[in-house]
Amino acid sequence: MSHPQTAIGIDFGTTNSSVALALPSGHVELVSFPTATTPTQSSRSVLYLEQRKQAGRTQIKGFTGPSAIEHYLTADPKGRLIQSLKSYLPSRTLTGTEVFGRRYSVEDLISRILSDLRLHAELALQQPIHHATVGRPVRFVGSESDEDDAFALSRLEAAFLHAGFHSVTFELEPIAAAYAYESTLSRDELILIGDFGGGTSDFSLVNVGPSSRTIPRAQRILGNSGLGLAGDAFDARIVRHLVSPALGSTSFERSFAQASDRPANLIPAAPAWIYANLERWHYLSFLKTRNVAEILKSARARAEQPEKIAALITLIEEDLGYQLHQAVQRLKVDLSRHETAHFRFPQLGLAGSMEIERTVSRSDFELWIADQLQSIESCVDNLLQTTGIAPAQVDRVFLTGGTSFVPAVRRIFESRFTPARVRTGNEFTSVAQGLALRALESTPA
Ligand SMILES: Nc1ncnc2c1ncn2[C@@H]1O[C@H](COP(=O)(O)OP(=O)(O)OP(=O)(O)O)[C@@H](O)[C@H]1O
Ligand SMILES: [Mg+2]
């Protein structure tokens, strides 16, 4: 594909990234990323850094997307696999991390991923790419104010410039999804978009369709809202309720456990902050320090159930964060399809520690995430309230993003708008497709 007026859309997601190219005809193509098996149109937003000795000199080599995971899984010893980088953007305290003794800013790390996305797109397009329309959430993960969002956005822009782009135009991710949905429409509709990703849940109320296209863009958008809570936050609850207890979060010190007159407030064997870090993929790698190792060694010596703390030590020492993430994802995905699912994390057993296995029902999971579902509901209701739109006025709801597969998330919309008005689709690619169409709108013919 080679055309001077091709418009580029890039969706740099918390979990997955996609790139789409739109031709002046409106035809959109997704860029494919090679994997060891079949190519994929959504590339994992991960970075793997490893140290290599070459010609007597030590170099740090980086891999992104599917190749990052492949290198990470086969490497021995393993380097650092960094996930959910987009979630760092609004934080003024987490400005970067040290890897192999070298300091990297968040922008540096993200730019590695973006620069590979650009190279893949250039390969598909057979020409250099200097400009792209890029997605942004309504609210970044962890952002508490408009200033935090502006700060996150300026860092994201810096990462794109660092990755070789000359300029970028930002568009809200749910608006991009609206453009993708609109491309399938032959009539006018007032739609509510719900884009549920790994980090954020975003909503937009937009007029779409043939006659709406003639109205200036700003007038078509009735309102947007969003919150920094989505699939990663659901995963954190699975860790809290299922994984952490198996690794000792609810076990106590032996001296108290054996005492006949147990005090009312028993002392937990290991500190709570360690388990809090287990819940967030992007903090997990911070646990592999000498300080944490010492704390856990002494916790194991004092613990009522030392085997659980020993399993936690193995998890951290063997760097099994990615495998844990996969096991949690598998459970969540299975629960989207079935009423019950089996959680298995065999790698701990393989590493000589105990296995974690448990059957989980969908209703258990829904109980674990109940307050998060409530926050999502409030966010949708607030958008309707502030725009003065009654649910009956909304013609269609379009749900997209990986977390829209969760039945409890879909139910929020089915109960307000009736199942017949809810559409779903292109969960991992609609935002990139819409960004390319948005880019096309501003490309001179
Ligand atoms: N079948 C499924 N059931 C439940 N969750 C799923 C399913 N498939 C994917 N997910 C979740 O969807 C999320 C990824 O979705 P997506 O790729 O849309 O996010 P993203 O665009 O990377 O993130 P964001 O838009 O928040 O920056 C992950 O949390 C993943 O676990
Ligand atoms: Mg997304």
Q: By the 8 A CB rule, do 274 and 287 touch?
A: yes
For the residues 119-124, what does the mean pLDDT come to? 95
Task: Say if residue 229's pLDDT is above 90.
Answer: yes
Rounded distance from Cα 291 to ligand 1 centre (Å): 33
Q: Considering every ligand atom, which ligand is closest to the CA of 427?
A: 1
What is the pLDDT, as a whole number, of residue 282?
66
Ligand 1 centroid to 196 CA: how many Å?
Answer: 7
In one letter, which amino acid is 75? Answer: A
The alpha carbon of 195 and the centre of ligand 1 are apart by a number of angstroms equal to: 10
Tokens of 419: 């199942």
Centroid of ligand 2 to alpha carbon of 302 (angstroms): 44
Task: Name the residue of 15, 140, 334 whose CB sits within 8 Å of the most ligand 1 atoms, as the mutation to test its pocket.
Answer: 15
Residue 403 has what pLDDT?
98
DSSP-derived 3-state class of residue 24? coil
- For the CA of 336, the nearest atom of ligand 1: 3
Q: What pLDDT, in 10s, does the model give residues 187-213?
A: 999 999 999 999 999 999 999 999 988
Q: Which of 94-108, 110-124, 147-161, 210-224 has the lowest mean pLDDT?
A: 94-108
* Phi, psi dihedral angles at 84 (to 5 degrees): 50, 40
User: If you measure from the C-alpha of residue 431 to the centroid of ligand 2, how many angstroms do you get, rounded to a whole number?
Assistant: 7
Ligand 1 centroid to residue 405 C-alpha, Å: 8
Q: Which of 171, 204, 403 to mutate to test the pocket of ligand 1 (most atoms within 8 A of CB)?
A: 403
Taking CA atoms only, the protein residue closest to ligand 1 atom 16 is 197
Pick the atom of ligand 1 nearest to 173's CA: 25
The rounded distance, in Å, linking the Cα atoms of 406 and 336 is 5
> Hey, whose CA ends up nearest to atom 2 of ligand 1?
333
Q: Of all protein residues, whose CA lies closest to atom 17 belonging to ligand 1?
A: 16
Q: What is the pLDDT of residues 65-83, one digit of tens each?
A: 999 999 999 998 888 889 8
For residue 39, the SS3 value is coil
pLDDT in tens, 243-289: 999 999 988 776 655 555 555 456 778 899 999 999 987 677 778 88
Instruction: Look up tokens 């032959």; give the residue.
Output: 186
Instruction: Report the mean per-residue pLDDT for the chain.
Output: 92
Task: Give residue 421's pLDDT.
Answer: 98
The DSSP annotation for 272-296 comes to HHHHHHHT-HHHHGGG-SHHHHHHH
| The domain over range 7-187+426-441 is classified in CATH as 3.30.420.40 | yes
Residue with tokens 């007026």: 5
Angstrom distances, CA of residue 97 to CA of 85, 94, 182, 285 = 11, 8, 41, 10
What's the 136 CA to ligand 2 centre distance in angstroms? 9
**CA 388 to ligand 1 centroid distance, Å:** 30
Cα R_g (the chain), whole angstroms: 23
Give me the pLDDT at residue 213, please.
85
Is the pLDDT reported for residue 152 higher than 80? yes
Section 7-12 average pLDDT: 97
Domain spans of the chain?
Answer: 7-187+426-441
From ligand 1's centre to the CA of 15, what distance in Å? 6
Q: What is the DSSP letter of 103?
A: E
Under DSSP, is residue 286 helix (H, G, I), strand (E, B) or coil? Answer: helix
Nearest CA to ligand 1 atom 3: 333
The confidence band for 8, taking pLDDT boundaries of 50, 70 and 90, is: very high
Residue 19 near residue 45, CB atoms below 8 Å: no
Number of the ligand 1 atom closest to the C-alpha atom of 201: 26
Q: Which ligand is closest in space to the CA of residue 233?
A: 1
The percentage of residues in the chain with a pLDDT greater than 70, rounded to a whole number, is 95
Find the 271 Cα to ligand 2 centroid distance in Å: 34
pLDDT band at 352 (very low <50, low <70, confident <90, very high): confident
Q: How many Å apart are CA 412 and CA 416, to the nearest integer? A: 7
Closest atom of ligand 1 to 45 CA is: 22
**What's this model's pTM, rounded to 2 decimal places?**
0.94
Residue nearest to atom 24 of ligand 1 (CA): 197
Question: What confidence score (pLDDT) does residue 107 get?
Answer: 96
User: Ligand 1 centre from 401 Cα, in Å?
Assistant: 6
Residue nearest to atom 10 of ligand 1 (CA): 402
Mutate to test the pocket of ligand 1, among 332, 338, 365, 379 (most ligand atoms within 8 A of CB): 332
Q: What is the pLDDT at residue 263?
A: 55
Amino acid in the structure at residue 155: R
Residue 388 sits at φ, ψ, to 5 deg, of 70, 25
What sign for the dihedral angle of Cα 4, 6, 7, 11? negative
Residue 30 pLDDT greater than 90, yes or no: yes
Q: What is the DSSP letter of 268?
A: B
Q: Which of 201, 206, 216, 212 is nearest to 395 (CA)?
A: 206
Q: Which residues line ligand 1 (CB under 6 A)?
A: 13-16, 45, 86, 173, 197-200, 230-232, 329, 332-333, 336, 401-403, 405-406, 428
For position 262, what pLDDT does the model report? 55
* Whole-number Å distance between alpha carbons of 21 and 429: 12
Please list the alpha-helical segments (H only) found in 102-247: 106-125, 146-162, 173-182, 217-220, 231-238, 244-246
Say how many residues make up the chain: 445
Question: How far apart are alpha carbons 66 and 333 in whole angstroms?
Answer: 19
Proximal ligand: closest to the CA of 200:
1
Q: Return the residue whose CA atom lies nearest to atom 18 of ligand 1.
A: 401
d(CA 231, CA 282): 13
For 290-348, write each residue's pLDDT tens digit.
899 999 999 999 888 899 999 999 999 888 888 999 999 999 999 999 999 999 998 88
**46 vs 58: CA distance, rounded Å:** 23
- How many angstroms separate the CA atoms of 124 and 133, rounded? 17
